[in-house]
A and B are shown apart, each in its own frame.
Chain A
Amino acid sequence: MSEVKRRIVVPGERLPPNVVVREREHEYVYEEEGVKYATVIGLLDERGENPVFVPLQSIYIPKPGDVIIGLVQSIGIMNWYVDINSPYVAILTAQDYLGRPYNPQIDDLSRYLPVGSYVKVKVLAFDRTRNPLLTVRGEEGLGRITKGKIVEVDPAKIPRVIGRKGSMLQMLKEETGCSIFAAVNGRIHINCPNPEIEPILVLAIKMIEEQAHTSGLTDRVKKYISELKVIRGVK
C-alpha cells in the first residue's frame, strides 16, 4: 500500500540523507554531524526517487520579490503598518503608495487606506535586521483590493492550492469562473462574477487545505464543487 511510503514525522525524527525539501522550507530540516532531522511535524513521502519532506504547517518569512496580500494594521505618520501573516509587521510608505511626495500636515493616510483594508503588494526589501518594506510599484495589479473575498490558509498549503504546474488553480478557475490569486503568505484573493458561487469556492479551498497531503485531490475537489453547485442550484 502507498500509505507505508508516506508517513507523518515529528520534530527530532531522523530523515533520509537524500531528503528533498521544497524551496523556502529548508529551515524545517536541521542538520547535525551529517544527520538530518525534522524540526516540525511534516509528511515524508518516500514514493518517488528521492524522499520528499513537506511540513504540515509553516511560518511565512518574507523574501524580496514576493507578491503578497497584506492587511492594514495601523497607520503611522508617513507609512502604513501592514500585517502580512508573518512574525514581522511590514511597512508601506505613503510616498510609494501615492506615487507623489506626501505631507502629513495637509493629507490624511486613512483616506487612502483605512485600517482593515487589504492590499496586494510586493516585498521590496527584507533582511532580518529591519522589518519588511513593501511596494505597490513595478508590477501590474498591485494596490488596494476593493472587490472579492480573502481566504486565509496555512502558508504551507499554498503550493497545493496552486497544484502541480498550476493544475489545481486552473481547475478552480474553470469550474467557478472566478479570478483567484494565491499569495505565498497564505492569503487567497477570490473575485467571483457570480456571488452565489463564492461560498462554494471558499469551501473548496478549505477542503484543499484540510486534505492537502492526500493524492487524487484535484479530481475530488472538482467533484465536490459540482456536487455543491447542484445542491445549491448554482449554474
Chain B
Amino acid sequence: MGKVSMKLINEEGLRHDGRRPDEMRPVTMEVGVLSNSDGSALVSFGRTRVLAAVYGPREPPQRYMILPDRALLRVRYHMAPFSTSERKSPAPSRREIELSKVIREALEDIVLTHLYPRTSIDIFIEVLQADGGTRTAAVTAASLALADAGIPMKALVAGVAVGKIEGVLVLDVDEIEDGSGEADMPVAAAPDIGKITLFQLNGVLTREEIERGLDMALNAIQKLVEMEKEVLRKKYTFNV
C-alpha cells in the first residue's frame, strides 16, 4: 500500500484523532462477560475490541498433547470476519497463527502452569473489531480472563504499542498510524514482578528511541494494570 498523504501529526503536535503523542485511546475493560467459560473479559482500546475466554485447567483434547510436568497453555487468536472493513476470511491466517504463539509466550511465564501437570488451559481470543493494537489488547484481555477464571498467575499483564510517525514517538498506535508510520513496537509486561513478556519491533528505531519508547510503553502498562486490578476488585466487591 502506498503512503497516505494526510498529515498524521499537525502543527500543534496533535495526532490525526486529536491525541497527544503520549496519550492512549480511551480504554474500557469488563470481566465475566460470558457465562459458559470459566473466565472471560472484553477489552477495548478506542475502536479496537477484543474478547477473551478461558477454559481450564481441564483434560487436553488429545492424549499426545499432555505435558508431564506442567499444564499446556493453548492460545487461539482469531479475527472475526466482520472485524475489519473488508471481510476477513475466517480461516486462521499465517499472521493469526504467529500472533497466537506470540501471545502464548507473553502469558506462559506468568501463569503457574507447573501446578497443574497433564492438563490444558485454553485461551480463546476473538478480535471483534480491529483498529490497530489488537495483539496488545489481546494480551490485556487474556490476562483479565485468566484472573477471572481463578487460574494462579504471578501477576497481571497488559500490553500497548509504541509507534513512530513523522519522526515522533507515539503511544497506542491505531490502524491509520500503523499503516503509514515508520515503526511499530508492541510491548507487554507485568509491572508487579518487573518483567517484559512481549517485545516486538516492526520498522526502524534508533537505540535512544527504543529506550524512550519502552519507557512510554511501560508507563502506560502500569496504568493499564492498575485499571485491570480496579475492574477485578469491582467485580468481586460485595456491599454486604
Classify chain B: how many residues form its interface, as a range: 20 to 34
A196 within 8 A of B: no
Determine whether A175 belongs to the interface, using a CB cutoff of 8 Å to chain B. no
Contact between chains at A55 and B156 (CB < 8 Å): no
Alpha-carbon separation in the docked complex, A182 to B237 (Å): 26
Interface residues of A in 29-48 (CB under 8 A from B): 30, 32, 37, 39-41
Most chain B beta carbons < 10 A, residue from A10, A12, A39, A213: A12
Any A CB within 8 A of the CB of B159:
no
- Whether B238 lies near A211 (C-beta < 8 A) is yes
Contact with B along A2-35 (1 / 0, CB 8 A): 0000001011110000000000000110101000
Cβ of B154 under 8 Å from chain A: yes
Residue of B nearest to A57 (CB): B150
B-chain residues with CB within 8 Å of residue A88 when the two chains form the complex? 59, 118-119
Main secondary structure of the interface of A (DSSP, over half): loop
Bound Cα distance from A14 to B93, whole angstroms: 41
Q: Which residues of A contact B112 (CB under 8 A)?
A: 27, 30, 39
Judged by a CB distance under 8 angstroms, whether A171 is at the interface is: no
Q: How far is the CA of A37 from the CA of B194 in the complex (A)?
A: 13
Are A41 and B236 CB-contacts (below 8 A) given A12-B192, A87-B58?
yes
How many residues of A are counted as interface, with CB atoms below 8 angstroms from the partner's CB atoms?
Answer: 27
* A56 engages B236 (CB within 8 Å): yes
Q: Contacts A30-B112, A32-B193: A11 and B154 contacting too (C-beta < 8 A)?
A: yes
In the bound complex, CA of A13 to CA of B229 (Å): 9
Q: 1/0 per position for B134-177, CB-CB distance to A under 8 A?
A: 00000000000001111111111000000000000000000000
Q: A57-B150, A87-B71 known; 14 other A-B pairs, CB under 8 Å?
A: A10-B229, A11-B152, A27-B112, A28-B152, A30-B152, A37-B193, A39-B152, A56-B236, A58-B150, A61-B116, A87-B116, A88-B118, A129-B68, A214-B238
Interface positions of A (Cβ within 8 A of B): 8, 10-13, 27-28, 30, 32, 37, 39-41, 55-59, 61, 87-89, 128-129, 211, 213-214
Query: What 10 A-B pairs are tightest by C-beta distance, nearest first?
Result: A12-B155, A57-B150, A12-B192, A39-B152, A87-B57, A87-B119, A214-B240, A10-B229, A8-B233, A10-B232
Selected A-B contacts with CB under 8 Å, 29 pairs: A10-B156, A11-B152, A11-B153, A12-B155, A12-B192, A13-B229, A27-B115, A30-B154, A37-B192, A41-B150, A41-B232, A56-B150, A57-B149, A59-B57, A59-B150, A59-B151, A61-B116, A87-B56, A87-B57, A87-B58, A88-B59, A88-B119, A89-B59, A128-B117, A128-B118, A129-B68, A129-B117, A214-B238, A214-B240
